[in-house]
Amino acid sequence: MLISGIQKFTILDYPEKTACVVFTPGCNFRCGYCHNPEFVLPEKIQAIRSSFIPEETFFHFLEERVGFLEGVVISGGEPTMQGDLLDFIRRIRARGFLVKLDTNGNNPERLKQIMDEGLLDYVAMDVKISLAAYLGLVGPRAKTQALQQSIALLMQSSVPYEFRSTLIKEIHSEEILENMAQLIAGAACLFLQSFRPGHTLDESFSAYHAFSGKEMERIQALFERTVAKVVIR
């Protein structure tokens, strides 16, 4: 398992749990607003490869946190690209930790495989934009049918989950927001995240803008028509 970084403690990334975050390198999307380009772009990954954390070092760290941390968040990049992800999760759970997976939803077959084995305690899936606009925002590797399959898989599963969307004023029009609300109609939970300009994969996004607090509240109300719980994060 390739580990490009570790956040040793968080109370934000796994709802109501104390956790650490493991970051994996590589992603099949190219979201211009991504704040982790060093875990996405091949040339940046190569530049930090010497600082990757050995798997055994991580598990030594984890064993020292037994009784202190409740869970492990596996994030990225896109973790489902890692061929040994299932074995990695098995080893975490064998030590008594809960596992939350962050995913872009582009690999429903791998997601289903992990869920069918009962290895996940929580899943967070990004819903970035309307299906029709996905490729324009994240690049040509997005598979809209696969995204729909992942959404349905989570909504039909007993595993706790959340969808999450980062909203950008120049990108998320009223029509797109309406389409997104229909895409996840009937979902249990959606977290809305306001775009933060700064360190992004595509430097041009530094000129883009977040919605105001009032605008986010209006968007929250829009999604509450179709989603049971909508929270501004």
* pLDDT over 90 (residue 145): yes
Mean pLDDT estimate for the chain = 96
- Residue 36 binned pLDDT confidence (cut-offs 50, 70, 90): confident
* Residue 164 near residue 233 (C-beta atoms within 8 A): yes
pLDDT band at 38 (very low <50, low <70, confident <90, very high): confident
Q: Where do runs of H (alpha helix) occur along 22-94?
A: 42-48, 55-64, 85-94
- Mean pLDDT, rounded, for 48-59: 95
Whether the predicted pLDDT of 144 surpasses 90: yes
pLDDT at 131 over 90: yes
Residues 94-107 have pLDDT tens digits of: 999 999 999 999 99
CA atoms within a 13 Å half-sphere pointing along the CA-CB vector of 184 = 32
Q: Considering only residues 206 and 230, tell me which one the structure prediction assigns the higher pLDDT.
A: 230
Q: How far apart are CA 71 and CA 68, in angstroms?
A: 9
What is the reported pLDDT for 206?
Answer: 85
CA dist., res. 2 & res. 127, Å (int): 25
Contact 137, 193 (CB under 8 A): no
pLDDT of residue 50: 92
Question: Residue 156's domain spans which residues?
Answer: 5-232
CATH number of residue 197's parent domain: 3.20.20.70
Measured between alpha carbons, how far is 154 from 147 in angstroms, rounded to an integer?
A: 11
**pLDDT: is 30 or 38 the higher one?**
30
Token pair 């609300």 in the structure block, residue = 181
Q: d(Cα 98, Cα 186) in Å, to the nearest integer?
A: 26
pLDDT-derived band at 21, boundaries 50, 70, 90: very high
To the nearest whole percent, how much of the chain has pLDDT over 70?
100
Q: Average of pLDDT values for 201-230? A: 95
SS3 105: coil
Residue 192 forms beta bridges with which residues? 165, 232
Host H or E run for residue 166 = strand 161-167
pLDDT digits (tens, 9 = 90+) for 63-76: 999 999 999 999 99
Overall number of domains in the chain? 1
State pLDDT tens for residues 162-199: 999 999 999 999 999 999 999 999 999 999 999 988 78
3-state secondary structure of 193: strand
Quickly state the pLDDT bin for 92 (edges 50, 70, 90): very high
Per-residue pLDDT at 191? 98
